[in-house]
């Protein structure tokens, strides 16, 4: 038997286990390494997969890009047009909106990104948009994973922008084999440079011309140059005399060759030769490091960026481990106010105001997944009504009921709102009309044809703005009032139950539901903002429409609710849709041509389909179960950085690839996220892929001539963006509730002690097998069991990375 560091093509582990590396060129078998050479730069060492159910470590980044200040002027007008690009390990994942003509932009944009726990850094690049030339780089803020890990509550505040130094903008990994060769007179140090992947693109075509320079003890040797590739393969070996006691380090540098200008630095790896001598040999993928020898400019002269960034790592157990906790909470909700322990009330009392919104959202998602959202909210309604003396103060506090209702409307009603109001809001943005009703803020602009320009009067601006706002507001109210049947049954049934509870508690307060549409229809509001008067007729009409809408909304019977839910369950829910450009080829050989054709695509939980227009008949392109990977295509392949590929198998079992072009980086990552989420449990997911295309007789990325080659880069199936229509993650929600309850366990025990010692406390009851029947005692026991499950789980380590995977061959 022999151990090999790298997985052979026939032995790739299936799907979700983790990305597998590309197979190197044939080489003599080597035993496992004896020791790591440099823990600071080496990728994680190999781990043998263990048996039994394992935990999955999940990492998420919560990002809020607030604003910038004191940015340098990049335009001749003395201003800039700034926007932000967010990169995780140099991979662009987010682009903010551009704020025009300002040095102090405000964005206020929030994102949540799910990634592999092994990511290294997140960087925020502030750019200046330029319509005629390449966008200018203003500066960046980089936060490493280690930095974020030292801030449990997240990093929040202002950070100085620093200069973007090309020698520090390195990425990718290099595959090396190092060994000490014993000789009769002296030892020799042998360094085999095998390949590299995901190198930084240094040329305008989106590629590089890489070569490697190996330096030791004053001697330098270089590999050949691989033209136009970010995934080069060299398979070249160099040897150096190894002097006894020499303290010199071995330095392996990657460079981009340039014919005219100086070569560009791509990164380096430095090895301690004394450690290598002790280990005798080492082979693996090594992360390229930047050159930090140059002195940095004084910080602060490029402006600052206000950020909020929080890292969350969760070790999620298998589903079965959370069943006792979920069943206990569900049992308490079904009992409602008849529960002897009032577990939900106890959770509210032990939850601080600071984290109540998070707890409410997590509980709501958990019960929504169990089909008990209405029952959970009804229990909270009763608790809220029990401590409220006036109807107009309902849901005005920071109670668990108000926070849960807010989360419920977002989670259960967001798809409905997107469908009903989305087209109108999209039209508002597409029209880009200037609107202002406040006379003190009106900007007078030129109107008319060329040569006949005249400035608009203030009265004209105000009248056009009022007309535009009345049209948009009327369209929104009209669309909403006609959408009763489109509203989710669970939302309608929950509001019906709320109305019943309020009517029982406050019989005379039946008209409190509509509060004059944000108090805009009251004399006080008209006196405070007199310039809103042109909208009052539309508002008054809208109040009447909304009252009628709410009356119809809650008029739903149990049978109708069940019928609507049943009809919805029979439909394949729409995950994402929109226009994309699909790559088509015509002809063969020298006459072959290619182009992109615009079509309307729809992604459901069953298939990716397309049609000529949104209303045309759809044709299935790819069945969901056949998807094997959804990844980006490198820029040089089609001259665009916004192209993705969907690798799938057709009905005959043959591997196929669809190339789809998006309009921007945000759309690209949103589609990739959607495709990855709906296919994450597919069998046969790929661990590696080709980021290029097979053109002519070779792959454009790594220049390999075998079309069936398994790939030169690792897939990123776990890297996704959080979206409003994401499916519920039951195990994660249960883990988040467990973690919260664990944090207040001491308070729960004290509350339980007080309840047990109170005058109404009776004897401690136990059920079959001696388990306590007291719900609080049961909860404490469940927390103890989950704590033990976390301690004894056989896999407290991150998911397997390419350099983790070993193959056992006979």
For residue 35, pLDDT beyond 50: no
Give the bridge partners for 123, in sequence order: 87, 142
Mean pLDDT value across the chain = 83
Tell me phi and psi for residue 561, to 5 degrees: -60, -45
Tell me phi and psi for residue 575, to 5 degrees: -95, -45
Q: Are β-strands 627-632 and 643-649 bridged in parallel, bridged antiparallel, or unpaired?
A: antiparallel
Q: Could you give the angle at the alpha carbon of 350 between the alpha carbons of 347 and 352, nearest 5°?
A: 115
Cα separation, 732 vs 391, whole angstroms: 36
Q: Are β-strands 173-181 and 281-287 bridged in parallel, bridged antiparallel, or unpaired?
A: antiparallel
Per the model's pLDDT, the better-predicted residue between 699 and 17 turns out to be 699
For residue 807, pLDDT beyond 50: no
User: Range with the lowest mean pLDDT among 32-36, 60-64, 406-410, 666-670?
Assistant: 32-36
Residue 122: which H helix or E strand, with range? Answer: strand 121-128
Q: Are 458 and 439 in contact (CB under 8 A)?
A: yes
Which are the contacts of 743, defined by CB distance < 8 A and separation ≥ 6? none
For residue 379, pLDDT beyond 60: yes
Average pLDDT value for residue range 402-427: 91
For residue 251, pLDDT beyond 90: yes
Q: Could you give the angle at the alpha carbon of 804 between the alpha carbons of 798 and 807, nearest 5°?
A: 135
Chain centroid, CA 528 distance in Å: 42
Cα separation, 553 vs 563, whole angstroms: 16
Task: Give percent of the chain with pLDDT exceeding 90.
Answer: 54
What pLDDT is recorded for position 798?
37
Cα separation, 244 vs 183, whole angstroms: 13
The three-class DSSP label of residue 670 is: helix
For residue 173, pLDDT beyond 60: yes
Q: pLDDT of 524-551, one tens digit each?
A: 555 567 888 888 888 888 888 888 898 8
Token code pair at residue 214:
């190996």
**pLDDT tier at 443, thresholds 50, 70, 90:** confident
Residue 780: which H helix or E strand, with range? Answer: helix 775-792
What pLDDT is recorded for position 32?
36
Token code pair at residue 12:
């790739």
What pLDDT is recorded for position 291?
85
Closest by CA position to 285, among listed 585, 41, 87, 529: 41
SS3 readout for 214-250: EEECCEEEECCCCCCCCCCEEEEEEEEEECCCCCCCE
Cα separation, 806 vs 178, whole angstroms: 18
Task: Give percent of the chain with pLDDT exceeding 70.
Answer: 81
**pLDDT tier at 206, thresholds 50, 70, 90:** confident
Closest by CA position to 158, among listed 245, 280, 66, 75: 66
For residue 802, pLDDT beyond 50: no
| CA–CA distances in Å: residue 489 to residues 106, 133, 268, 364, 669 | 39, 52, 59, 16, 32
Token code pair at residue 725:
């229509």
Q: Are 575 and 603 in contact (CB under 8 A)?
A: yes
Q: Are 42 and 286 in contact (CB under 8 A)?
A: yes
Q: Are 370 and 325 in contact (CB under 8 A)?
A: no
Q: pLDDT of 266-319, one tens digit each?
A: 999 999 988 888 888 999 999 999 987 665 555 568 999 999 999 999 999 999
SS3 readout for 363-395: HHHHHHHCCCHHHHHHHHHHHHHHCCCCHHHCC
| DSSP 3-state percent helix, strand, coil across the chain (nearest 5) | 35, 25, 40
What pLDDT is recorded for position 386?
86
Cα separation, 486 vs 416, whole angstroms: 7
**pLDDT tier at 205, thresholds 50, 70, 90:** confident
What pLDDT is recorded for position 760?
53
| CA–CA distances in Å: residue 37 to residues 42, 118, 275 | 7, 19, 6
What pLDDT is recorded for position 168?
86
What pLDDT is recorded for position 715?
95
Torsion of CA 456, 462, 466, 467, to 10 degrees: -20
Q: Are 354 and 360 in contact (CB under 8 A)?
A: no
What pLDDT is recorded for position 589?
58
Cα separation, 783 vs 42, whole angstroms: 38
Cα separation, 378 vs 623, whole angstroms: 40
Handedness of CA 440, 443, 446, 448 (dihedral sign): negative
Tell me phi and psi for residue 698, to 5 degrees: -160, 160
Average pLDDT value for residue range 326-355: 87
What pLDDT is recorded for position 433?
86
What pLDDT is recorded for position 543?
86
Which are the contacts of 389, defined by CB distance < 8 A and separation ≥ 6? none
Cα separation, 598 vs 586, whole angstroms: 16
Tell me the HSE value of 117 on the side-chain side, using a 13 A CA sphere.
18
Token code pair at residue 733:
């929600």
Cα R_g (the chain), whole angstroms = 31
User: Range with the lowest mean pLDDT among 94-98, 147-151, 485-489?
Assistant: 485-489
What pLDDT is recorded for position 367?
95
Torsion of CA 141, 143, 147, 149, to 10 degrees: 140
Q: pLDDT of 571-601, one tens digit each?
A: 567 889 999 999 987 656 555 567 899 999 9
Q: Are 702 and 231 in contact (CB under 8 A)?
A: yes
For residue 758, pLDDT beyond 70: no
Give the bridge partners for 128, in sequence order: 82, 136
Number of neighbours of residue 20 by Cβ within 10 angstroms: 27
Average pLDDT value for residue range 631-643: 93
* pTM for the predicted model, two decimal places: 0.82
The H helix count followed by the E strand count for the chain is 18, 32
Per the model's pLDDT, the better-predicted residue between 792 and 120 turns out to be 120
Residue 752: which H helix or E strand, with range? Answer: helix 745-757
């Amino acid at each position: 038997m022999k151990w090999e560091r790298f997985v052979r093509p026939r032995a790739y582990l299936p799907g979700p286990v983790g990305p597998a590396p590309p197979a190197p060129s044939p080489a003599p078998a080597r035993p496992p390494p004896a020791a790591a050479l440099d823990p600071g730069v080496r990728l994680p060492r190999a781990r043998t997969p263990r048996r039994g159910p394992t935990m999955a470590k999940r990492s998420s980044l919560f990002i809020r890009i607030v604003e910038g200040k004191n940015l340098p002027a990049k335009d001749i007008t003395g201003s800039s047009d700034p926007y932000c690009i967010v990169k995780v390990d140099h991979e662009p994942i987010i682009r903010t909106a551009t704020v025009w003509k300002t040095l102090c932009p405000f964005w206020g944009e929030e994102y949540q990104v799910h990634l592999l726990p092994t990511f290294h850094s997140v960087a925020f690049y502030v750019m200046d948009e330029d319509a005629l030339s390449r966008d200018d780089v203003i500066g960046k803020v980089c936060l490493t994973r280690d930095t974020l890990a030292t801030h449990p509550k997240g990093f929040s505040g202002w950070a100085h922008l620093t200069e973007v130094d090309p020698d520090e903008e390195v990425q990718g990994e290099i595959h090396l084999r190092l060994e000490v060769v014993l000789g009769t007179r002296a030892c020799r140090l042998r360094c085999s440079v095998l390949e590299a992947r995901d190198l930084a693109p240094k040329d305008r075509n989106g590629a590089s011309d890489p070569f490697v320079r190996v330096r030791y003890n004053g001697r330098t040797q270089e590999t050949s140059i691989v033209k136009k590739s970010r995934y080069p393969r060299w398979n070249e070996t160099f040897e150096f005399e190894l002097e006894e006691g020499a303290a010199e380090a071995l330095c392996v540098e990657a460079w981009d060759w340039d014919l005219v200008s100086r070569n560009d630095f791509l990164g380096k790896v430095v090895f301690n030769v004394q450690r290598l001598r002790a280990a005798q040999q080492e082979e693996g993928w090594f992360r390229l490091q930047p050159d930090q020898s140059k002195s940095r400019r004084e910080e602060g002269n490029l402006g600052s960026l206000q950020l909020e960034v929080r890292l969350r790592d969760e070790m999620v157990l298998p589903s079965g481990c959370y069943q006792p906790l979920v069943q206990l909470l569900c049992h308490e909700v079904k009992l409602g106010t008849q529960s002897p322990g009032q577990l939900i009330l106890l959770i509210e009392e032990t939850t601080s105001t600071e984290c109540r919104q998070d707890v409410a959202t997590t509980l709501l998602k958990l019960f929504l997944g169990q089909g008990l959202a209405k029952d959970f909210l009804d229990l909270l309604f009763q608790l809220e009504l029990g401590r409220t003396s006036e109807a107009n103060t309902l849901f005005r506090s920071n109670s668990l009921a108000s926070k849960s209702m807010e989360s419920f409307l977002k989670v259960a009603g967001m798809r409905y709102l997107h469908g009903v109001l989305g087209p109108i809001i999209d039209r508002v943005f597409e029209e880009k009309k200037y609107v202002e009703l406040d006379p003190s803020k009106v900007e007078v602009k030129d109107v008319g044809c060329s040569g006949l320009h005249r400035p608009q009067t203030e009265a004209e601006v105000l009248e056009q703005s009022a007309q535009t706002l009345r049209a948009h507001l009327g369209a929104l109210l009209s669309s909403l009032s006609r959408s009763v049947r489109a509203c989710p049954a669970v939302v309608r049934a929950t509001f019906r139950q709320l109305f019943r509870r309020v009517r029982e508690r406050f019989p005379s307060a039946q008209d409190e539901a509509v509060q004059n549409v944000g108090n805009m229809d009251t004399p006080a509001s008209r006196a405070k903002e007199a310039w809103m008067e042109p909208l009052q007729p539309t508002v008054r009409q809208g109040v009447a429409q909304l009252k009628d809408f709410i009356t119809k909304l809650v008029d739903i019977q149990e049978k109708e609710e069940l019928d609507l839910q049943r009809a919805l369950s029979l439909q394949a829910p729409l995950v994402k849709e929109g226009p994309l450009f699909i790559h088509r080829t015509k002809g063969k050989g020298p006459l072959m041509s290619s182009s992109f054709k615009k079509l309307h695509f729809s992604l459901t939980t069953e298939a990716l389909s397309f049609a000529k227009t949104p209303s045309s008949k759809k044709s299935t392109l790819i069945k969901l179960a056949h998807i094997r990977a959804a990844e980006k295509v490198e820029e040089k392949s089609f001259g665009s950085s916004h192209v993705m590929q969907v690798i799938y198998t057709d009905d005959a079992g043959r591997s196929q690839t669809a190339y789809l072009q998006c309009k921007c980086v945000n759309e690209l990552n949103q589609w990739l996220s959607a495709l990855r989420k709906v296919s994450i449990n597919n069998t046969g997911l790929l661990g590696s892929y080709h980021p290029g295309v097979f053109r002519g007789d070779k792959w454009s990325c790594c220049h390999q001539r075998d079309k069936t080659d398994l790939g030169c880069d690792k897939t990123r199936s776990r890297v996704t963006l959080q979206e409003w229509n994401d499916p519920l993650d039951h195990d994660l929600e249960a883990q988040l509730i467990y973690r919260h309850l664990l944090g207040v366990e001491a308070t729960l025990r004290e509350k339980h002690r007080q309840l047990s010692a109170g005058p109404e406390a009776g004897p401690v009851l136990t059920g079959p097998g001696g388990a306590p029947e007291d719900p609080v005692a049961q909860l404490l026991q469940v927390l103890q069991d989950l704590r033990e499950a976390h301690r004894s789980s056989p896999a407290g380590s991150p998911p397997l990375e390419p350099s983790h995977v070993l193959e056992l061959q006979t």
